[in-house]
Structure formats: structure tokens, C-alpha cells
Amino acid sequence: MTTNKQPTLLGECLAEFIGTGLLIFFGVGCVAALVLTGATFGQWEISIMWGLGVAIAIYCTAGVSGAHINPAVTIALAAFHGFDKAKVIPYIISQLLGAFCSAALVYSLYSNLFTDYEIAHGFARSSQDALATAGIFSTYPHASLSFFGAFAVEFVITAVLMFVILALGDENNGASRGAMNPLLIGILIAVIGGSLGPLTGFAMNPARDFGPKLFAYFAGWEYALTGAKEIPYFIVPILAPIAGACFGGWLYPKAIAAYLPQEGHGCTIPNQCEQEDEAQEARA
């Protein structure tokens, strides 16, 4: 198999499109199976499937684009970790398109079941009752949560997500995890979903939520974007994850990375580490 040692922006954007699409394909497909076929999934099973979808997406695309598959992650990396700011908009567009197209694909595969469900439950897709099926595509808050309560939940869980992603990817922070990283990130998603998912649906990703939500609106779900709220709910899974990821991206270097020894030596002085490397090579 031939490889291109110089990834292009087009290739990176294609990888982000595919990676985000895979995430939505498995995650939304799982929720569609639950709602439309009566599959016996609980919160933990759904969370695990979303987590595995993330892991699979990362395994498939990380070598090309870094597998951000999340605008909040892209923005946080650009703001605090040196990611090329010129790539932010192309990455985000690719992620949104991937999520939108994958939601359309899942809908096309389940289209007859959507129609049957609406007939069986006696509601039109343009009604508020149709939020029961609009929720297959994207997230809506628990009825007891206010707009600001939902914002706080999404902020906190996305901050935790970003913080742990950076910890897992930091070679100075414990043993190298290498090929285990995508799976560990998937487990992280599942743990967050299992513990706090019932509150907001654990979006943590503007593309994961807005792309499918926008598709649902175009497919006839009139209240898909607003969630039948006075303040349109689609705002929360866009702004809160971005703010949370930026906070997590800022906090990790300050709270953890600043106190870690340099890789492999426990030293914090670069020249000292280089000298130890040279000494080890001479002894080898």
C-alpha cells in the first residue's frame, strides 16, 4: 500500500469528514434502533456504542488529520496547543458536513421505520410530539433542566473530555499508551455518557449535534433546531462544548503538564535530558 508522506489539507479535511461521519453513523444508528425497533438498550449500552464509534473513527483517521472529529477540540487545540489556525474553518466545515451526511444516510436506511413509527403514534413530523424521533439525530435536555443548567452540564463534561484527551496524549504523563489511546478515549466517552448522559444527551461536540439537527430540520422536523424552547436549544451544544473544551485545553497545561518530568528521564531541563540521551547511546 502506498502512502503520502505529506498530507494535504484536502486529505485532512476528507479524514475529518469520514471520521465524524463514522461517529454519527454508529451513534445515531444505535439510537434509531432503540427508538424505532424497540431494541433493549439501556443508557450504558448506548454510551458504550457512542464510545466505540468514537474509537473506531479515531483509529481510521488519526494518522491523516489527528482525528479531531469535533469542532470544540479543533478550536481548543488551535487556541492553546499550536494547531494551525488556518485549518480551523476547513476542519469544522468538514466535520459538520460529515455529521450531516451521515445523519442523512442513517435516515435513508431507517426511513420506512420512521414513517411507521409516526403513523403508529399518531403525530406529524412538524409537531412538538415529533421531538421523540428528532432526538434520534441530536440531543435535547432533560425536562427539568433550564437553558443555563444544560449549558453548565455541557461545559463541564466537555472540559473533562478535553482535559483527559490531553492527558492521554501527553507522552510525559506516565507510560506511552500508543495504539490504546483511541480505545481509552472511547471509554472516556462511554463513562461520561453513562454518568451524565441523561441530563443533556452528552453532546460535547457541536458537529455531532448541529449537523444531524440541521438535517432533521430539513427533513421536516419543524422543532428540531429549537427543541420547542423559548431560547433555541441548538445554541447550547454549540457554545457550551466550545467553551468547555477551551477551558479544559487551558487547564491541563497549567494544572498537570507544567509539573511533569521530561519524557523518559524524570528531568525538566531539556539540555540535561539531551546529555542523558547521549550518555545512554554511548553506553549502548
* Domains defined for the chain, CATH in brackets: 9-283 (1.20.1080.10)
Residue-level pLDDT at 282: 45
162's grid cell: 478535553
pLDDT value, residue 265 = 39
Residue 278's pLDDT band (cuts 50, 70, 90):
very low
Mean pLDDT value of segment 46-69: 97
Question: Are 223 and 130 contacting, i.e. CB atoms less than 8 angstroms apart?
Answer: yes
pLDDT exceeds 60 at position 277? no
φ/ψ region of 82 (left if φ > 0, alpha if ψ in -120 to 50, else beta) reads left
Max avg pLDDT among 32-41, 69-78, 263-272? 69-78
- Tell me the C-alpha distance between 148 and 168, whole Å: 30
Instruction: Characterize 4-30 residue by residue with b for buried, 16 or more Cβ atoms within 10 angstroms of its Cβ, and e for exposed.
Output: eeeeeeeebbbbbbbbbbbbbbbbbbb
d(CA 171, CA 265): 12
Confidence of residue 177 (pLDDT cuts 50, 70, 90): confident
pTM above 0.85, yes or no: yes
Q: Decide if pLDDT at 108 tops 50.
A: yes
Identify whether the C-beta of residue 229 lies closer than 8 Å to the C-beta of residue 117. Answer: no
What average pLDDT score do residues 147-176 get?
94
pLDDT grade for 274, boundaries at 50, 70 and 90: very low
pLDDT value of position 171: 87
Please check whether residue 29 is in contact with residue 106, taking contact to mean a CB–CB distance below 8 angstroms: yes
**Percent of the chain beyond pLDDT 90?**
84
Whether 207 contacts 20, CB under 8 Å: yes
Place 230 in a pLDDT band, splitting at 50, 70 and 90.
very high
pLDDT of residue 144: 96
Q: How many CB atoms lie within 10 A of CB 68?
A: 31
> Torsion over CA of 74, 76, 80 and 86, rounded to 10 degrees?
40
Instruction: List Cα–Cα distances, 211 to 44, 92, 130, 185, in angstroms.
Output: 24, 11, 18, 22
Please check whether residue 76 is in contact with residue 162, taking contact to mean a CB–CB distance below 8 angstroms. yes
pLDDT over 70 (residue 227): yes
Mean pLDDT of 186-196: 98
Identify which has the larger pLDDT, 144 or 271. 144
